Amino acid sequence: MTIGNAPAGDLLALGIETSCDETAAAVVRRRADGSAEILSDRIFSQTDAHALYGGVVPEIAARAHLDRLDGLIEDAMAEAGASWADLDLIAATAGPGLIGGVMVGLATGKALSLVHAAPLQPVNHLEAHALSARIADETPFPYLLLLVSGGHTQLIAVEGVGRYRRLGTTIDDAAGEAFDKTAKLLGLGHPGGPEVERRAAAGDPRRFEMPRPLLKHAGCDFSFSGMKTAVRVCAEALTEGGRRLSETDVNDLCAAFQTAAADHLAARTARAMRGFSGEGAGRLVVAGGVAANKAIRARLEAAASEEGFRLIAPPLRLCTDNAAMVAWAGLERLAAGLADDPEAAYAASARARWPLDPTPRTRAYGSGRKGAKA
């Protein structure tokens, strides 16, 4: 259920984000003209807490959110110079994500909303990513979104607030997840993406052959498990007989993997752009941590210009997980008259899965973990 009347004038929201391993709180203003002003944007990255394990440990993440969130919210409110009475909205991520963390953020949002009599808006984390490009440069609808993070790899036609059509998704690993697993296999740190990029810059991408997945499949879905497995097979062959991987081996494997990942992302996105061009958009937005990768960005840039699209990449701070985009998504809903009514907002529960598109189609490709990252 939604409140139908959109309020006029400036709107102010507190955003809360706890769906993965960043604990974040931000205060954002939406001016009456539709532009955004980030008044504060606090992030505590839990990377160190998880580094030892080579990946995000859900239980540790939930506890760290619990420890840090209250302080971050206080800091964000103070930095913004906002009082609780100023808030038009408290927007909290309600999914998809690691359930323990999402519960911490949503319960905190509900409690603050009740205590301070500020309306609550549960936010879909994917919607927050999808609308983040409109914070920095007011990107008009419609646009094509490539969301590439550690948890998601999706192509989405963003037609308006609350109007999303999923064109493609990964059928196995998310792109960032494949970078992280490849890094772990090669003994590099976590998160693996930045380290793989650094090593790839010194490597030869032609020494090892990597698969180019789904070449014969129509549609815009992705697959990264084949190239991840190819790295493992090559590494196992190199280390037969107890030999250790040399620095050059690691660099070359990273270069081969990154090139294959970039080619695949660009090829599938090009297909989506071809299907989308009739809709008069010409805009490709990239979001998610993997969009930080310069080689991937360059490949997407080239593919976009070939298809007559403009590549729009929000500033990196807005590309990766943050609370400003959560506050903004809540504000966009409120301004569009699509905010939840109080009953629905308080009844919302934390969700591990929450697809943006209400009727996503599923495809069959044989084996693979379909759905988990979808």
Q: Contacts with ligand KG4: how many residues (CB under 6 A)?
A: 20
Binding mask 153-192 for ligand KG4 (x = CB under 6 A): -----------------------xx-xx----------xx
Contact partner at residue 101 from ligand KG4, Zn ion, none, CB < 5 to 8 Å by partner kind: none
Q: By CB under 6 A, name the one of 73, 91, 290, 304 that touches ligand KG4.
A: 290
Judged by beta carbon, residue 29 or residue 264, the one nearer ligand KG4 is: 264
Q: By CB under 5 A, name the one of 124, 149, 170, 258 that touches Zn ion.
A: 149
Minimum CB–partner distance for residue 316 and Zn ion (Å): 13
Asked if 124 touches ligand KG4 (CB under 6 A), the answer is no
- What tokens were used for 20? 């993965």
Minimum CB–partner distance for residue 262 and ligand KG4 (Å): 10
Rounded to a whole number of angstroms, the distance between the first and last alpha carbons of the chain is 25
Task: From 94, 89, 77, 93, select the one nearest 117 (Cα to Cα).
Answer: 89
Q: By CB under 5 A, name the one of 321, 340, 350, 373 that touches Zn ion.
A: 321
The 3-state DSSP class for residue 81 equals coil
Cα radius of gyration rounded to whole Å, the chain: 21
Q: By CB under 6 A, name the one of 95, 100, 151, 213 that touches ligand KG4.
A: 151
Q: By CB under 6 A, name the one of 15, 95, 205, 289 that touches ligand KG4.
A: 289
Distances (CA, A) of 319 to 36, 105, 146: 16, 20, 11
The 3-state DSSP class for residue 80 equals helix
CA dist., res. 56 & res. 46, Å (int) = 9
Asked if 314 touches ligand KG4 (CB under 6 A), the answer is no
Q: Which of residues 6-35 bind ligand KG4 (CB under 6 A)?
A: 20
- What tokens were used for 113? 């909303």
Asked if 194 touches ligand KG4 (CB under 6 A), the answer is yes
Asked if 149 touches ligand KG4 (CB under 6 A), the answer is yes
Q: Which stretch binds ligand KG4 (CB under 6 A): 25-33, 47-55, 100-108, 145-153?
A: 145-153
- Which residues sit opposite 340 in a β-bridge? 2
Judged by beta carbon, residue 253 or residue 323, the one nearer Zn ion is: 323
Q: Which is it for strands 22-30 and 36-45: parallel, antiparallel or unpaired? A: antiparallel
Minimum CB–partner distance for residue 180 and ligand KG4 (Å): 5
The 3-state DSSP class for residue 173 equals coil
- What tokens were used for 183? 């890094």
How many Cβ atoms are within 10 Å of 312's Cβ, its own excluded?
A: 19
Residues 6+ apart with CB under 8 A from 180: 55, 150, 190, 191, 192, 193
Chain residues that interact with ligand KG4, rule: CB under 6 A: 20, 149-151, 176-177, 179-180, 191-194, 197, 288-290, 292-293, 320-321
Q: Give me the residues that bind Zn ion (CB under 5 A), please.
A: 149, 321
